[in-house]
């Protein structure tokens, strides 16, 4: 068995670890509710004990996210270079690329359509204006005003920014899209130059193996990290805010659930013979870590590991998943569509059908330009809100309101962003005979390897 495969299998992404993370997740959510309820004493003061528990949990959660983010850039660069070099043949590469873009488009198109339909049918924003203006979000307004100004009307600039002027500068600030674009071009060039590229490809093979090993170590903290992150997230959102905009939450969650439980299985069954149940069980761990971290970039090493250790080829995983983690954000696209329609409904701004299509289209574009890090989907929403007829004051208020209630929704949509990358990788691997079905279907063999 190839070395990298052994490492991946040894990553031990098994049922045992899934169980621990799941327990961590549930315990974190319960603790978060308890902490939220006791945050303020009956006399209205801040409960210092609860506040220190929350900051300790926040510390643990941030530690976990930082550790995992630490390996993302070396992992993404090495995975793409090794993956593309191993495809070698440029015809096969362009076939992978075309399929990948086509599948990304199908998945994101479905997401924005479902989001738009649900928002138009159930009108979650109607009557919500008073909650927006009264909400505690007002305090966040100054923070977000700057972000709105930065984003507005600069769609051309956003595309320009995807091309790095200085690759090292993009790496140093963790700007994933330019890093990906450069790495992709560089990797294709390496594949083209042939034998002379061998030493550098060998170097990146070692980088990949080592970063995956580091990921394995970090994953021992996954249950604790997910526990801490979900407790902090749940403790921070007020139940008052939740009930005030419950229809917004419900519509969005319903859309995400439809995408997860109906669209992905249908997509997988239509375009491949990958068994859906095994697929979902294979990536459960990545889904839970995505929920806890709310970052598809941070989850990326795990997404790759979950797919590879079940027999999806390294060629496909290392090409499709890193690109997907940045470019394919169907959960985010759906969220952006619903959120923008929610705000226009809340402020009573009527939209023509063509404007709704425009919102969906911009959500599609904006989601692909946003990085897989917490908060990115919300910031890029300003791009879509622009020109819809909301006053500057409404824009700031509305945006700040979304900001205040976003964290928990972000956890859900990140699960989708990650799952769809894995689903597309599985389907492409099936189409290109790059999946080892003996390993994929054989849970026993996998268990044995773990023990
Ligand atoms: N946090 C999301 C992700 O990493 C992006 C977003 O919707 O903000 O996939």
- Read off the tokens for 281: 């069980």
* Site to substitute for ligand 1 among 410, 411, 419, 422, most atoms within 8 A of C-beta: 410
Which ligand 1 atom minimizes the distance to the CA of 417?
9
* Site to substitute for ligand 1 among 233, 255, 376, most atoms within 8 A of C-beta: 376
Give me the tens of pLDDT residue by residue for the chain, a chain 451 residues long. Answer: 454 444 444 444 444 556 788 888 889 989 988 998 888 777 777 788 889 999 999 999 889 888 887 888 888 888 888 888 877 677 777 888 889 999 999 999 999 999 999 999 999 888 777 777 655 455 555 556 666 666 655 667 767 877 888 989 988 887 777 888 899 899 889 888 888 988 999 999 999 888 888 887 888 888 898 899 888 888 876 555 556 578 888 999 999 999 999 999 999 999 999 999 999 999 998 999 899 888 888 888 889 888 988 889 888 888 889 888 878 999 999 999 999 999 999 888 888 899 999 999 989 988 887 777 777 788 778 778 777 888 877 877 787 778 777 878 888 999 999 999 999 999 999 999 999 898 888 766 543 323 2
- Which of 206, 433, 208, 162 minimizes the C-alpha distance to 312? 433
* Site to substitute for ligand 1 among 104, 326, 370, most atoms within 8 A of C-beta: 370
Give yes or no for a contact between 129 and 346, defined as CB atoms under 8 angstroms apart: yes
Please calculate the CA angle 365-366-372 and round it to the nearest 5 degrees.
Answer: 115
SS3 call for 40: strand
Phi, psi angles (nearest 5°) of residue 312? -80, 130
Give, using CA atoms, the residue closest to atom 3 of ligand 1. 372
- 234 CB neighbour count, 10 Å cutoff: 20
Question: What number of residues does the chain have?
Answer: 451
Give yes or no for a contact between 99 and 200, defined as CB atoms under 8 angstroms apart: no
Which ligand 1 atom minimizes the distance to the CA of 418?
9
Give, using CA atoms, the residue closest to atom 1 of ligand 1. 374
Residues near 344 by beta carbon (within 8 Å), at least 6 away in sequence: 125, 350, 351, 388, 389, 390
């Amino acid at each position: 068995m190839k070395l990298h495969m052994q490492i991946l299998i040894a990553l031990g992404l098994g049922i045992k670890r899934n169980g621990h993370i799941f327990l961590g997740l549930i315990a974190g959510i319960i603790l978060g509710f308890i902490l939220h309820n006791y945050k303020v004493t009956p006399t209205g003061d801040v409960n210092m004990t609860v506040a220190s528990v929350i900051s300790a949990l926040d510390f643990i959660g941030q530690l976990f996210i930082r550790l995992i983010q630490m390996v993302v850039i070396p992992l993404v660069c090495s995975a793409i270079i090794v993956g593309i070099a191993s495809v070698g043949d440029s015809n096969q590469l362009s076939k992978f690329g075309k399929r990948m873009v086509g599948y990304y488009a199908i998945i994101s198109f479905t997401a924005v359509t479902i989001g738009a339909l649900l928002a138009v049918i159930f009108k979650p924003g109607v009557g919500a204006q008073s909650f927006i203006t009264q909400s505690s979000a007002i305090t966040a307004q100054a923070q977000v005003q700057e972000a709105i100004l930065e984003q507005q009307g600069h769609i051309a600039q956003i595309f320009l920014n995807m091309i790095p002027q200085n690759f090292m500068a993009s790496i140093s600030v963790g700007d994933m899209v330019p890093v990906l674009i450069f790495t992709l071009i560089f990797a294709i060039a390496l594949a083209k130059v042939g034998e002379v590229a061998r030493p550098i490809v060998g170097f990146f093979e070692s980088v990949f193996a080592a970063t995956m090993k580091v990921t394995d170590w970090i994953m021992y903290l996954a249950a604790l990290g997910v526990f801490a992150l979900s407790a902090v997230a749940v403790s921070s959102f007020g139940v008052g805010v939740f009930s005030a905009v419950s229809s917004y939450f419900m519509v969005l969650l319903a859309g995400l659930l439809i995408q997860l439980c109906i669209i992905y299985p249908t997509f997988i069954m239509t375009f491949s013979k990958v068994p859906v149940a095994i697929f979902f069980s294979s990536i459960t761990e990545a889904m839970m870590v995505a929920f806890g971290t709310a970052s598809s970039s941070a989850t990326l090493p795990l997404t790759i590991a979950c797919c590879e250790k079940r027999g999806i080829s390294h060629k496909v995983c290392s090409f499709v998943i890193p690109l997907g983690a940045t470019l394919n954000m169907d959960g985010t696209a759906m969220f952006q569509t619903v959120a923008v329609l929610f705000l226009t409904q809340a402020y009573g701004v009527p939209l023509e059908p063509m404007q709704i299509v425009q919102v969906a289209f911009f959500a599609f574009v904006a989601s692909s330009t946003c990085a897989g890090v917490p908060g990115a989907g919300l910031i890029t929403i300003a791009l879509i809100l622009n020109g819809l007829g909301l006053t500057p004051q409404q824009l700031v208020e509305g945006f700040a309101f979304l900001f205040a209630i976003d964290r928990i929704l972000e956890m859900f949509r990140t699960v989708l962003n990650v799952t769809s990358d894995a689903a597309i990788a599985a389907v492409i691997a099936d189409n290109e005979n790059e999946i080892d079905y003996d390993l994929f279907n054989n849970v026993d063999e996998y268990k044995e390897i773990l023990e």
